[in-house]
Structure 1
C-alpha cells in the first residue's frame, strides 16, 4: 500500500510537470444518437450556452477551431466506430432525426406517420441536396439500411437493427436482401416495417444516408479522403490532412443552410495534452476539454473563458478477451476487476472530474426518468466486499486452469489505446497497482487507436483499455456485448444474456424494462465479469466567451450546426 501511495504522489508531480491528459483514448462511437423520449419530433430551437440579455452582434467572419483527440480513420459510416469519425460524420451527413438539446427533432425527414399496430413507420423527407447538387432521396436512406444488412459489410451495430423486419435473418445469410422491411414509396417517402413494436426506434433511425453511385465508385476507398465523400449535412469536408487537420465549410446546398452561421470549421488533430492547452491559451482553439488541475486553475482565472463542467454519457472500461486461454477463466477476470483501483483512478488520474464506475451504464442513461445504474444497485461493490483478497481469487483461477498456483509465475498484457505521455503514465500506474494487489507480472503495450482497434478485433489482446459512448436508449450499451455484436472485441458469449438483451427491446412496460436492464448489467459486470468498469466520463470544457450555440446535452448529435461567434473581434 505504501508503494501505491508513493506512486500516486509521484504521479501528481509528473502530471504537474507534463500537464498531462486525464482523458481516455476515445475509440468509440457514433453512438450519440437521438433520444426516444417522445414519438413526435419537435422543430429544433436554437438555445445558447452563452447567455445574453440581447441577441449578440455576430462577427462578420464566422469560423471555429476545435480539437480532435485522434485521427478519425475511415469516414465510411457503415464501419466507423470512433468518436472522432462520428464527430465529423454528424456534421457532414443528415440523419432522419437528430437529438438536439435533449429532444428528438426532424432532420432528414420533416415528419413521419406510425401505423395503428406500431409496425410500419412512414417518413416524409425534406427537399435536401448533396453538395454536388444531386437531390437526397429515400433511396439514399434505404441503401444505407440495405448495406447495413449485407453480411459482407460487417456493420458493427447490427444488433440495434434487428427491430427492422427480416434484418436478422438477412445479415445471418438466411434470407435475401430484397426481403428487408425497407421500402422506397417515392423519392421523398421512406417506409420501414418492424419485426416488433419498439419504444426506442428513433435512436436506431439516426442512421446517415449513402449515395450508391459514389459508394460504388470509390469502393473500399470510400470515406478515406475528403474527395471520396459526398456531403448532405450542414457542412462539407473540403480538406483532410491526415493526422493534422480536417477543414469543413458551410454546405450551401443544405436544406437548413440559412440557420448555419459558421462558414469554416477546422478540427485540429492534437494528441498531446500540453500542446492542446497551449493552443487554447493562445487562441488557436476556441474550445477545449481540460483535465489537468493546474490548467483548470489557470483557465478558470481568465475572464475571457467560460468553464462548463460536464458528465458525459461515456464509460471507461477494461475489456477482457474471453477467448484468451487465461482470461477465458472467470476467476482470472474477477481477480483483475476486484483489484482494480477505481476510486484512486478517479481521484489521481482523472482529478475527480470523473466518478468511479461500478456498473456499465453511465449516469445520464435512464429509463422513464430512472438511471439504470440506480436500478442496478451497483452489485460490484458488494462483490468486492465479499472477496477482500483478489490474489486468492487469482490463485483459484490459476488452479482451475492447471497452471502454477504461484501468482509470481503468471504474466499477462494490458493493452492501451493511445501513445501519448499521459497514457504511458496511466498504464504504469495501473501496472504497479495491480501487480502489488495480485502478485503477478503485467506488461504494457500501447498503440494508436486504429492499430489498437484492428488488433483487438483480430483477438490480439488479453485486457484492453477503452471508452465507449452511450445512447439515450439503454439497450444500445447492452447490445454491444451480445454475441452477435462486433463492436466490443471481448467475445462475450452468453446465450441467456443474448436472449434477455433481445427481449428487453420488445418489452413495453417501463418497470419490467428497468428490471431487465439491471439484470443485464449485473450479468455482464458481476456474473460473467466480461468487463471491468473504471470510471464514467466527465470533464471541464473551457470555451471563449465569444462562442455561442453549443449543445451540451448528454446525447447530442447536433454537431456544430448552431455554433456561432459574437465578439471575437472586439
Structure 2
C-alpha cells in the first residue's frame, strides 16, 4: 500500500520560504494584545491593520486535499480547512494535540474504535459542516481511482489496504458517520500514533457535492473550493500570488486576528532576500550564508533556527557483491567526516546526523533523539579504523584485500553544480580514508529513481522527511514490504520490531523496540549512512507575533498578529 516517495535533493535543497516557523518562546498575550510581565499588564495594542506579507518559492500543485503531495499545498490547506485536530504548541514550544474540527474524542478499551464529536460549524458558503464531510474526505483519499499519494498514511484504518487496492469496496472501510455530528473510525489494531494522523491532509473534510460538481478541476481554482478553516482564498493568480482572508464563518473566528495574508510566489533567492530587506515581506527562510550573516545584523529581525525532521543519507545496494557485506557497508558509513561535511559543503547550516530518526520527532512526551543512543556514534567508537573494516569485509567476500584495487561508484540524482561539488568532496573523503578508487556519476532525478528501482547502483544519495511526529514514520520505510528505499535489504527481526511498535501503546516499550530497530539498521547492518539533518534559518520582523515554531505544527497563521509594524 505504501507509495514510493523519493525526495529529490534538488527539491529538498530549495529553501523552504513559506514562513512555517515562529520566533521562539511565545509571550503571554491576552486577547487585546496586552503583554503580561512579572505580574504587571503592559498595554501594547495590536496594529489597527492586521495583515502579513509572505512568500513561497512555488505555488501549490493542487488544493485537492486527497491528491496534493507538495509542502506548498499542504501549508495552504492547513489555513483553509479544519482537520479533526491541530498540532499546536504550549508556552514551552512542545507540541500539543488540540481539538479542531472535532470538539472531543473517545476510544474503546483497546484503542481500536475512535469516536469523534464534530463541533457545530459552517463552511464558507454557510452550509453546516457534518461528520459525513470527514468520512467522505477519508474515503476519497483511499479510493483506488483517486490515486492519493499519501493514502498509505491511512493504513491503520480497518480494511484500508484492501480498499486502496480495489479488493474491497469503500463501504467496507472502517470509517462511518453515526449521525451529522459523530464520526466513528475503526482500526485494524491498536495504533499508538493514530491521533498524529488526524491532522494530515488525507483526513481533512471534503464536501462531496463540491467535489462531484467540479470533478477534475476540483482544487485547481478558488471557485472550485469551499473552506471551513481560519481563512478563505480570495485571490489566486497562478505562479504569482495567493491571498488568504479571514473566514467569518469559522467556528473559532474570534481568536483569528489577521484579516489577510498575502503570499507572493517568487523563486529567485536574491529577489526574496531583497524583499525581506526592504520590508516588502515580513518573514522568509534564508539559505545563503552571506545573507544569513547580513540579516543577523538587522536588529529589527528575529532569527529562528529550526532543525527539520528530515535526514539526508547515503544508501547501499545490498544486492551488489561488494555491498552485500555488512563490514564493507560499515566502512563506507564511517569514512565520512560528518562535522566537516556539514561545515564545508553545507556552510555550517545543517547538523551532522548520527541516527536515522531525525531531531524534533517525539516518542511519548520526549524527543526520540534525546533518549535514544545514536548508532553511528557507537559504531565509530567501536571501530576507529574504517579501512580495517573494509579490508575485513573484502576478505569475507573472498576478494582482493588491497583497497587500492577496489573501484566503487556513487550515483547522484542531479547534474547541477552543487551536486558536482558534493560528489567531488565525498570522493576525496573516500580516497583519503579508505584508499579506494571512488567514482561519482551524475544523472537526472528520473533516471536515478529508475536505476534505484532496478538495482543498477552501488551507493545512492537522497533525503527523506517524516510525514508525522512519530519515529515509525521513518523507521517503517525500511521494512521489507515497504518498497520505499531501494536497498534490497530485509531483516526479520527488524520487521518484527516495527510491527510490535506499531501496536504497542506503552511509550517506554515502543522506545525499546525503536532503539533496537535503529541499532540493527545502522550499527549491525549499516544499510544506510545518515549524513546531515537540514536546518532552516528563518528571519522574521519582530512585530510578527504568535506564528507557529515547530516543524510538525499545524496552527499556521490562526493565532498570528502584528504589533508595532
Q: TM (normalized to structure 1)?
A: 0.78
Given that 1:431 and 1:443 are in contact with CA atoms closer than 8 Å, whether structure 2 keeps it comes out as no
Contact kept in structure 2, 1:413 and 1:461, CA below 8 Å: no
Q: Could you say which residue in structure 1 is the equivalent of 2:183? A: 190
Structure 1 residue 543: Cα displacement = 0.9
| Alignment CA distance shift 1:190-1:23 (3 Å) | closer
Instruction: Indicate the residue corresponding to 2:157 in structure 1.
Output: 164
Q: Which of residues 87, 97, 106 is equivalent to 1:104?
A: 97
Instruction: State the shift of 1:107 in Å.
Output: 0.8
Shift in CA distance, 65/497, structure 1 to aligned 2, threshold 3 Å: farther
> How many Å apart are 1:547 and its aligned residue?
0.6
Q: Contact 2:354 / 2:374 at 8 angstroms: preserved in 1?
A: yes
Q: 1:57 aligns with which of 42, 45, 53?
A: 45
Cα deviation for residue 255 of structure 1 reads 1.9
For 1:18-167, list aligned pairs within 5 A. Answer: 24-25=13-14, 54=42, 56-101=44-89, 102-158=95-151, 160-167=153-160
CA displacement, residues 309-333 of structure 1 (integer Å, 9 cap, x when unaligned):
3334333334557788987776775
Corresponding residue for residue 304 of structure 2: 308
Query: Structure 1 residue 105: deviation in Å?
Result: 1.0
Name which of structure 1's ranges 326-335 and 545-554 shifts more when overlaid on structure 2: 326-335
Which residue in the other structure is 1:504 paired with?
501
Shift of 1:287: 1.1
- The answer to whether the Cα contact below 8 Å between 2:545 and 2:563 also exists between their aligned partners in 1 is yes
Q: 1:367–1:543: structure 2 CA closer, same or farther, 3 Å change rule?
A: same
Aligned mate of 1:557, from 554, 557, 562? 554
Shift of 1:99: 0.9
Deviation at 1:279, TM superposition (A): 2.0
C-alpha change, 1:50 and 1:57, in structure 2 (3 Å) is closer
Aligned to 2:198: 205
RMSD of aligned alpha carbons: 4.2
Over 3 Å counting, the alpha-carbon distance change for 1:503 and 1:132 in structure 2 is same
Do the aligned residues in 1 keep the contact of 2:479 with 2:495 (CA within 8 Å)? yes
1:192-220 per-position Cα deviation (integer Å, ceiling 9, x unaligned)? 12233333321122231123333344445
Aligned equivalent of 1:296, options 285, 292, 307: 292
Instruction: Give 1:7's aligned residue.
Output: none
Equivalent position to 2:439, from 432, 438, 441: 441
Cα 1:493–1:436 change in 2 (3 A) is same
Query: What is the SS of the residue equivalent to 2:139?
Result: helix
Does residue 536 of structure 1 match 2:541? no
Which residue number in structure 2 is paired with residue 414 of structure 1?
A: 412
Aligned-pair CA distance for 1:98 = 0.5
Q: Give yes or no for the alignment of 1:388 onto 2:381.
A: no
Cα deviation for residue 524 of structure 1 reads 3.0
CA apart distance, 1:227 = 4.4
Q: Distance in 1 between matches of 2:394 and 2:227?
A: 52
Residue correspondences, number = 529
- 1:492-537 per-residue CA deviation (whole Å, 9 max, x = no partner) reads 6555433322221211233221110112222333445443312223
* 3-state DSSP of counterpart to 2:478: coil
What does residue range 219-234 of structure 1 map to in structure 2 within 5 Å? Answer: 219-234=215-230
* Conserved 8 A contact 2:328-2:390: yes
Question: Structure 1 pair 45/363, CA: closer, same or farther in 2 (3 Å)?
Answer: farther
Q: Is the 8 A contact 1:375 1:518 kept in 2?
A: no
Cα distance in structure 2, aligned partners of 1:174 and 1:432: 52
Unaligned 5+ residue runs, structure 2? 1-9, 22-28, 90-94
Residue by residue over 1:363-404, the C-alpha shift from the partner in whole angstroms, topping out at 9 and shown as x without a partner, is 332324444335542222343452734697499679969999
How far 1:95 sits from its partner (Å)? 0.7
Shift of the 406–453 alpha-carbon distance from structure 1 to 2, 3 Å rule, reads: closer
Most deviating of 57-66 and 235-244: 235-244
Are 1:160 and 1:476, in contact at CA under 8 Å, matched by a contact in 2?
A: no
The answer as to 2:251 corresponding to 1:255 is: yes
